[in-house]
Structure 1
C-alpha cells in the first residue's frame, strides 16, 4: 500500500515538474515607454552558435503600392555559415507582386557608425543609412532571376525611436530585444522593377528584433498591425506568441499616438483566435487580445495580398532538410485588416503575420 502511494506521488511530482518545464515562461519588460538609445540601431548579437536579428521596414504608398524590406543577420549553427541578408517584397507594381531574397557572408557586413550606414556588402548597394530621427534612407539595387530591383526611399518627419521599459522581453531563459526605431515617418523616392520606375510617396514603419536563438525554435507565430492616419495619429501593434506559451501569453507592444500624445503598453495574451484560409493555408483571421492594463482589442483580416517564405526558393529535398534542421519554416502573410476596441470606431490598416510551420 505504501509503495503504491509512493509511486503515485512520484508520478504526480514528475507530471508537475514536466508541465512547469514544458510551458514557456513569458513576460513583457516592466516600465513605461522610453526613448531608445541610438546605439540600438546596430546589430546587437553577432555572437554564439545561434542568433537572429531583423530590421523590418514596412512602406505604405499613396498610389496603393506597398513594400516590405527586411534586413537581417543570422547564424543557424552547423547548417551553414553566418550570413547577412535582405528580403524584399513589392506589392502592386503595375498590378504585380515581386519578391526577392539575398544573402551575403557575415564577414562582409559593414557597420559604419561614423557615417551611420548599415551595408550588407561593401561592393553591393544594399543598405540603410542616416542618423535617426533626423534622416534615413533605404537603398536596394540588385538583380535576381532576371529581375532588376532599384529601390531608393528617403524618410523625413521621423518619430522618435521608442521601446517598452528596457526593451528586453522574456521567453524562458531567452532575452528578446524589440525596438520601434521608426514608429512613423513620411517616405518618398522611387521603386523601379526592370527599369519600370514608379515615383512614390507615403509612410513608413520599422522595428528591430534581436535574439540569440532562431525564430523557428522560439516562436509559434507573430503579428503586426500598422495604421498611419497622419503624423499625429497612428497605431502600431507588434507581438509574438512563443511555442508552448502558458495561457497564450505573448510578448510585444502597442504604441499609439493621438493628438500629440504617445503611449506604449505591453500585449499580455491572445484571448481567442479564429482561423481562416489564406493562400490555401490556415491563418489566424480574427485575433482577440488582452493588453497589460486588461483592455481588449480585436484584429480582423479583411484582404490577403501576399504570402512569402525564403525556403520556397529551395528544391523539395533542400527545403525539407532545412525545415528539419531549423525546426520549421517561417511564412509571412500580409494584407489589410481592421483594429477594433470596444466602444471605439474600427481603424483600417495593414497586417503582417508570420507562422512557424
Structure 2
C-alpha cells in the first residue's frame, strides 16, 4: 500500500510538472493533405509512452428515442497498470438510463488487419469490418444487469482525416480519426429480458494520445448531426491554455470537407474550456466551411469516466491522476441550419 501511495504521489508531481512545462506550448497541426481513412488508421497504434491511451467511440441515436454510447479503450489505470476499458450507456431505454463498464488485461484485445476486425474477449466485444457500410459493433456484458448492443451500419459517409491526423502540444501528441461522420444503422439492443429492435443514425471516431487526456485537454466537445447533409460532425479539443486541436467534417452543397476550427465561443465571448459552457457554443472554421452554433443549456445525460474503472482504489487513483472526476454531459439541440445536433462535452468537474 505504501508503494502504491508513493506511486500516486509521484504521479501527481509528474502531472504538475507536465502542466507547468506545457502551459505555454504551441499547438502544431497535422502534416499532409486531407485524405480518406484506411484500415491501418482503424487498427490499434503502438503505445509509445507509459500513459499512451487509445479509444474507439460510438454514438448511436435510434429512431425510437433511445441512445447508446460505446467506448473501447486501451489505457493506463494508476495503481493497476495497462487495461482495456469497455463501457456502454443506454439513455431512454424504455424511459430509463443504464450504464456498465468492464475492465480486462490488454492481451484480450486481438486486432486483425487482414479481417479489418478488433475483438476483445471473443464473442462479447467485436468491432467487425472496416468502419463504413457493413461495419458491426457488438457489446455484450453481464454486470449489474445483462447488456447487449449488436448493430450494423447499412450505410455510411466516408471518413476523412487531415494528413497524419496528429497534433503536437509541447512534448505530447494527440491524434483523431473521424471514421464515420454519419451512418444509418440497424440491429438490436437489450437490457436483462427487454430486447428492442432498433434503427437510427450513428457517429464513430477514434483518438489516441501520449498522456492522460486531462494533461492536454481542458474540455472536449463532440457533436454529430441527425441528417447526412448539410452536416457538421466531429470532436474539438481545447488545450489547458485554450488552444484548439481536432477537427470536424462538413457535408454541404460542395461535398465533404475537413473543417479545422479557428475559434470557439460561448455566447459572444471566446471560450477557453475552463468551465462547462451553459449557454451556446459557436464554431468558426477554415476552408470556407460555414459557422456552426447550438445551445448547450439543456443536458439530457451525465456520465463519468469512472464508470469504466473497476475497484475502489483504482477509481480513487484515476480521480487523483486526472485532477478530479471526468464527466460527460450529453444533449440535443437545434443548430443554426435547423438540424438536430447531438453533443457531448467532456472535462473535469468544475
Report TM bin, short chain: 0.7 to 0.9
Q: 1:355 to 1:274 in 2, by over 3 A?
A: farther
Aligned to 1:266: 260
Report the equivalent of 2:292.
297
Specify every segment of 5 or more residues in structure 1 that has no aligned partner in the other structure, as ranges.
1-17, 276-280
Give me the whole-angstrom Cα distance separating, in 2, the residues matched to 1:259 and 1:270: 24
1:254 aligns with 2:248: yes
How far is 1:274 from its partner? Answer: 8.1
The one of 331, 339, 345 equivalent to 1:353 is 345
Flag the 1:61–1:200 CA change in 2: closer, same or farther, 3 A.
same
**What RMSD in Å do the two structures reach over aligned CA positions?**
2.7
Matches within 5 A, 1:1-357: 22-29=23-30, 32-76=33-77, 79-122=79-122, 125-145=124-144, 147-230=145-228, 232-243=229-240, 245=241, 248-259=242-253, 261-272=255-266, 283-293=277-287, 296-301=291-296, 303-311=298-306, 319-340=315-336, 345-357=337-349
CA shift at 1:287, angstroms? 2.0
Could you say which structure has the larger radius of gyration? 1
**Aligned mates of 2:314, 2:250 — CA distance in 1:** 43
Give distance in 2, aligned partners of 1:189 and 1:22. 45
Give the secondary-structure state (helix, strand or coil) at the position aligned to 1:298: strand
Q: What SS does the aligned partner of 1:328 have?
A: coil
Q: CA separation in 1, counterparts of 2:91 and 2:291?
A: 31
CA displacement 1:4-60 (0-9 Å, x = unmatched) = xxxxxxxxxxxxxx9996324124325553112221101113343111111110111
Higher strand share: 1
CA apart distance, 1:79: 2.3
Instruction: Name stretches of at least 5 consecutive residues in structure 2 with no aligned partner.
Output: 1-18, 270-274
User: 1:272, 1:309 → 2: CA distance?
Assistant: 23
Q: Does the Cα contact within 8 Å between 2:89 and 2:97 map onto a contact in 1?
A: yes
Contact 2:280/2:296 (8 A) holds in 1: yes
Contact 1:118/1:129, CA 8 A, preserved across alignment: yes
CA distance in 1, matches of 2:36, 2:177: 10
